[in-house]
């Protein structure tokens, strides 16, 4: 593959997924990670993408949601570890809220059948929990976002306003420690997640390393609204210090 062809392929992959890690691009393009890093530097200078910690992010603005089936195959092992750590924070009798992230889907798949109330806007989560006898599942309803298998929009937002939960398990498109915020690919998802934060006593952010350094199109909330972050990202001293300023507890996996 010629360099120009590789550049086009890298931009195409990043635009499709929204963000990609150097290791993924190296494997897809069959070149070394060092070559990919040089390519990303050149592509950022040309304005075709933006570098992030450990990879690159699309410069498209309001990016369409990546289909659930594609997201489900990205960072699978990392998401499963994060999901297992999140499950350890759930106690019998809890009222919890799960978003429509693939990590929440992994949580639902392995959730023990104990007395819980689970509120969700995710079709996948509701289906996974349908066989649990002791778990009460409440769906928000709303406008179906087919690509993410989730409910969004005014009806879903009004539904959330009628509830209060102990713990929210929340993922996102981007986590940017320097700007102190988490973000989503579009306004509908961001607005719904803002409502989720507002009705929750504890906000637990589920963020694999591919989310870091990314500022997606629509801001959800500041990191000061998050109580705990479960992540596989190795934070340096400066990043750990920033988390401390937000009062954010980091749970590494």
Residue 27 sits in a domain whose CATH number is 1.10.10.10
Q: Taking 60 as the threshold, does the pLDDT of residue 42 lie above it?
A: yes
85 and 36 fall within a common domain: no
39 and 109 fall within a common domain: no
73 and 156 fall within a common domain: yes
The pLDDT mean for the chain works out to 90
> Does residue 63 fall inside a structural domain?
no
Cα(131)–Cα(121) distance, rounded to whole angstroms? 18
34 and 136 fall within a common domain: no
Mean pLDDT within 183-194: 90
190 and 73 fall within a common domain: yes
Tally of domains within the chain: 2
* pLDDT computed for residue 15 by the predictor: 77
- Residue whose C-alpha is closest to residue 207's, from 184, 190, 187, 188: 184
Q: Taking 80 as the threshold, does the pLDDT of residue 66 lie above it?
A: no
Task: For helices 3-17 and 22-29, give the axis angle rounded to 10 degrees.
Answer: 130
- Residue whose C-alpha is closest to residue 208's, from 182, 171, 176: 171
Q: Encoding tokens for residue 157?
A: 């937002």
Of residues 185 and 168, more confidence is placed in 168
244 and 122 fall within a common domain: yes
119 and 12 fall within a common domain: no
Mean pLDDT within 121-132: 96
Task: Give this prediction's pTM.
Answer: 0.74
* pLDDT computed for residue 196 by the predictor: 98
């Amino acid at each position: 593959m010629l360099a120009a062809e590789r550049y086009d392929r890298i931009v195409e992959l990043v635009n499709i997924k929204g963000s990609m890690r150097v290791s993924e691009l190296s494997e897809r393009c069959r070149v070394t990670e060092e070559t990919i890093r040089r390519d990303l530097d050149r592509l950022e200078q040309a304005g075709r993408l933006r570098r992030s910690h450990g990879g690159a992010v699309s410069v498209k603005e309001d990016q369409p949601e990546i289909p659930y089936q594609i997201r489900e195959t990205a960072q699978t092992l990392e998401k499963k570890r994060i999901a297992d750590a999140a499950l350890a924070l759930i106690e019998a009798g809890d009222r919890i809220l799960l978003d429509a992230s693939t990590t929440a889907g992994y949580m639902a798949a392995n959730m023990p059948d104990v007395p819980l109330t689970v509120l969700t806007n995710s079709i996948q989560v509701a289906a996974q929990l349908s066989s649990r006898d002791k778990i009460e599942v409440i769906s928000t309803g709303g406008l179906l976002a087919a690509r993410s298998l989730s409910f969004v929009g005014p009806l879903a937002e009004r539904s959330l306003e009628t509830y209060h939960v102990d713990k929210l398990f929340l993922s996102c498109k981007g986590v940017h420690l320097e700007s102190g915020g988490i973000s989503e690919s579009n306004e509908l998802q961001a607005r719904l997640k803002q409502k989720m934060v507002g009705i929750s006593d504890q906000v637990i952010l589920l963020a694999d390393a591919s989310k870091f350094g990314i500022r997606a199109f629509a801001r959800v909330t500041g990191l000061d609204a998050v109580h705990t972050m479960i992540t596989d990202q190795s934070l340096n001293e400066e990043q750990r210090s920033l988390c401390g300023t937000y009062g954010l507890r980091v749970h590494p996996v």
